[in-house]
Amino acid sequence: MARLPGTGGGPSLLLLSHTDTVVADPSEWQVDPWSGELRNGEVWGRGALDMKGEVAASAVAIASLAREGFEPTGDVIFVAAADEEVGDGFGLPWLCEEHPEAVRADYALNEGAGERVQLAGRALYLCSTAEKMSSPFRLRVHGRAGHASMPGIADNALTKAARMIERLAAYRSELRLQEETDALVQMLAGQKLGAEEALAFARELDPFAAETLEPLLSLTLSPTMISASERRNVIPSTCEVVVDCRLLPGQTQDEVEPVLHEVIGDGDYDFEWIEARGGTRSPLQTPLWDAVAGFVAEVDPEVALAPICVAGFTDSHWLRESFGTVAYGFFPMRTMDAQLAARLIHSADERAHVDDLELGVECFRHVARSVCG
């Protein structure tokens, strides 16, 4: 952590990043994944995009502001946290719990978005202001065991579970346009659309736009894991099914659970939520938004800033939940293609363009001056 103390009274800004990465298998890489090799203007290595690039850009931004004698009215804070990828409680949640004064801030910039994209014939920078909630659940379906050679004497929990899985997989929730997605659609369509119309509009644009939009309009259910009998010739008395479920920001498990029971239908089963993580949002009309939009207007005057809800979650939710921080995911990227970057994250040959890292430094300096200046 580092802190450029404010002279008093002004809002504080936290530049948040994480230093841990997922693993890398050197045999899949063109370079040593831990080399940080500079090749054709790109820094290669695990974490270049997720997210040591942003760690470095944040550090350079706050250090250069300090050297120049910048005197913010509120604190500018740098936090490079551990343990974001695994989430074992050693990273930002621990800081929020044990050292709240060290990480409390009015505004924060973190990972999540920032890419320059082409949608519906116009260029946009995306800024993530909301995240879906990871809300997986487990079904334990009960039957009666028996020898597999005499199916009639048993009540097969696996085949009972299969019918429930089919109903869950086929379920389509009512579509809702929440504020971030509504604002994004309005920017692209040039008018207000309903949720169904918005999806039809995206389908006309291209299949990828529709695939991206659809999960932002409702909760999603993906059955992913199943376990039943340990032996081929024993009919299972229980079958466990794990369903990856993602709720819209603001949706609660209490509100969704009765709906899920209706989808699953009658049957002898136990239902258990496994976790509830993320699912928070920050408002769109804030000084932080104005600061980021002001930066975009300066470096890319033709391009607008658009809000987006992301399907995954980041450390931002800890700040929102602990302190009510307005936290956005924004690290600008315009030299590297956004779809290439999305493929490289958590994958082999991850790399970041030096021009994008410099753009990130400029962004953080600009936002610190606008928000805390």
Enumerate binding residues for Zn ion (CB under 5 A).
50-51, 111
Cα–Cα distance, 295 to 317 (Å, whole number): 24
Q: Which is nearer to Zn ion, 237 or 280 (CB)?
A: 280
- In this structure, is the dihedral angle defined by the CA atoms of residues 332, 336, 341 and 344, taken in order, positive or negative? negative
Task: Name the minimum Å distance from CB 19 to Zn ion.
Answer: 10
Task: Name the minimum Å distance from CB 51 to Zn ion.
Answer: 5
Provide the token pair at 302.
């033709």
Hey, how many other C-beta atoms are within 10 angstroms of the C-beta on 19?
14
Cα–Cα distance, 20 to 235 (Å, whole number): 44
Task: Name the minimum Å distance from CB 81 to Zn ion.
Answer: 10
Task: Name the minimum Å distance from CB 329 to Zn ion.
Answer: 10
Task: Name the minimum Å distance from CB 108 to Zn ion.
Answer: 14
Q: What distances in angstroms separate CA 129 from CA 41, 253, 287, 288, 325, one per listed residue?
A: 31, 21, 13, 11, 11
Closest residue to bound Zn ion by CB? 50
Cβ-count burial 265-301 (b if 16+ within 10 Å, e if not): eeeebeeeeeeebbbbbbebebbbbebbbebbeeebe
Q: Which is nearer to Zn ion, 240 or 350 (CB)?
A: 350
Q: Which is nearer to Zn ion, 50 or 350 (CB)?
A: 50
Nearest of 358, 289, 294, 372 to residue 329 by alpha carbon:
289
Is 45 exposed, middle or buried (CB count within 10 Å of its CB: 0-12, 13-18, 19+)? buried
Q: Which is nearer to Zn ion, 111 or 115 (CB)?
A: 111
Cα–Cα distance, 204 to 42 (Å, whole number): 35
Q: Which is nearer to Zn ion, 45 or 74 (CB)?
A: 45
Task: Name the minimum Å distance from CB 22 to Zn ion.
Answer: 9
Cα–Cα distance, 289 to 294 (Å, whole number): 8
Q: Which is nearer to Zn ion, 96 or 177 (CB)?
A: 96
